[in-house]
Amino acid sequence: MTETVKRGPRGVLNMTEGNPYKMIIRFALPVLLSQVFQQLYNTADTYIVGKFLGTGALAAVSSSGTLIFLITSLFIGFAMGAGVAISRFFGAGDNEKVSKAIHTKVAIGLISSVILTVIGVIFTPTFLRWMNTTEEVMPLAVQYFRYYFWGIITNMMYNILKGVLNSVGDSKRPLYYLIFSSLFNIGLDTLFVGVFHWGVWSAAVATVISQGVSCILCLVHLMQKGHVYTLEIKKIRIDMEMLKLIIKYGIPSGVSNSVIAFANVMVQTQINTFGYQAMAAFGTYSKIEGFAFLPIMSFTLAITTFVGQNLGAGLKDRAKKGSTFGIITAVVMAEIIGLIFYFLAPFLIALFDPTPEVVAMGVTQARTEALFYCMLAFSHTVAAVCRGAGKAFVPMFVQLGIWCAFRIGYILVIMHTLGEIRYVYTAYPVTWSITSIIFLIYFLKSNWVNGFDKKELSQ
């Protein structure tokens, strides 16, 4: 027997009611703003380090994104499976299972954090050598990564707790918390690097401290009594039945994340062979590209939550209507940002490092990829539909085949035959386009709204 959900405090959004377009926008806009601040959060290290410590330090920090994402991607994707379960049971009105899913998710996050700390601290030099990190950059990169991974629990648990709020439709509070911690991070970066000149390691410390602030703010809110998502310390444990369901949804998402991360690391590895200036250019481009990715991320989260809640409530037509709207909106927004980036690339790259070689390589990459952001948006949003519909294996196999196997093969052939860095950049638009064609066929032809097993709601 399920309970009738008490919708809880202001901010929790029941996406099974009201105009579906307004619901998606209402959820996506705070996420978009929070992603802006998240990107500022991530970019602050790069900008301040490049400004005060030079190109070598910039290269060390710039290479961090792909490696950190590789190491954490499986666990973050696994946690996404718990998010799908939470949104499903919330849509179905089952408070008890919402609570079990939340406490299981938090337990998984704590265990994952310990594992990631050990892996990151011990194996950082090994990972960097595998990525062909140059000797000039290696000591600084090791410093940055090790300090970051000593505090990886703050990053993991913030994402876990934020995901709980997002799953029940609350995208505003994570925004408020992130705004505060982002500004705090920028202040600490400026103080540690710009004023104290403590070195590249202090940028990692500033990030860890700021992420800890976000984590604490989320935790304090979730521990308030009387809400459908209330977190109680004594209940944090792994419920085996819920774990099975989370595995069902989470393993494909985790593998998809790992696939993307591994392919990006392979690209970074090839970029690193061109020297530290190429590393700085690639890292700087990636930070700026992160802003283009913001509407994609905001609408993927909105779509996954919307589809999950509505299919959990049995509203298939509403799930179709809302997902179509979300996909189109994300594609249009991403392409507009891509056009802006295409024309402003020289100025934006030079903000981080005015070295002519760095600017030239960064601009080349931007003008190779930016006009194809619409394809990237389409692929990610359809993948979000699949995850919300309980068909996460579909994007997993597509991304494994195209974004991993094909992309890596393509780059190896390009490097062997042409050997120029500008051709490495083409791997992204080529694989985005192929994936978009496959996802378009799937979205139009498959019966994805039947991805959720209704028995899971009644067990």
- Asked whether residue 244 carries a pLDDT value surpassing 90, the answer given is no
pLDDT of residue 3: 36
Q: Give domain limits for the chain.
A: 20-450
Work out the average pLDDT over 298-320. 89
Q: What is the pLDDT of residue 11?
A: 56
Q: Is 289 exposed, middle or buried (0-12, 13-18, 19+ CB in 10 A)?
A: buried
Report CA torsion sign: 211, 212, 214, 218: positive
pLDDT for 381 beyond 90: yes
Give 4's pLDDT tier (boundaries 50, 70, 90).
very low
Tell which residue, 277, 420, 428, has the closest CA to residue 367: 428
**Distance linking the first and last C-alpha atoms of the chain:** 9
From residue 353, alpha-carbon distances to 49, 51, 179, 202, 347 in Å are: 10, 7, 26, 20, 10
Residues 385-402 pLDDT 10s: 998 888 888 888 998 899
Q: How many CB atoms lie within 10 A of CB 328?
A: 14
**Distance, CA of 203 to CA of 453 (rounded, Å):** 46
Q: What's the whole-number mean pLDDT along residues 28-49? A: 78
Answer yes or no: is pLDDT of 374 > 60: yes
Give CA–CA dist 364/56, Å, rounded. 21
pTM more than 0.85: no
Check whether 80 has a pLDDT greater than 80.
no
pLDDT at residue number 153: 94
* HSE-CB for 414 with a 13 A CA cutoff: 19
* Position 370 confidence tier, pLDDT thresholds 50, 70, 90: very high
pLDDT of residue 6: 39
pLDDT at 338 (0 to 100): 93
What is the pLDDT at residue 64?
61
Mark residue 2 as left, alpha or beta (left: phi above 0; alpha: psi -120 to 50; beta: remaining).
beta
The answer to whether residue 2 scores a pLDDT higher than 50 is no
Convert the pLDDT of each residue in 400-441 to its tens digit: 899 889 998 999 898 888 888 888 999 999 999 999 999 999
125-129, 292-296, 299-303, 453-457: least confident range: 453-457
Q: pLDDT-based confidence at 174, cuts 50/70/90?
A: confident
Confidence of residue 62 (pLDDT cuts 50, 70, 90): low
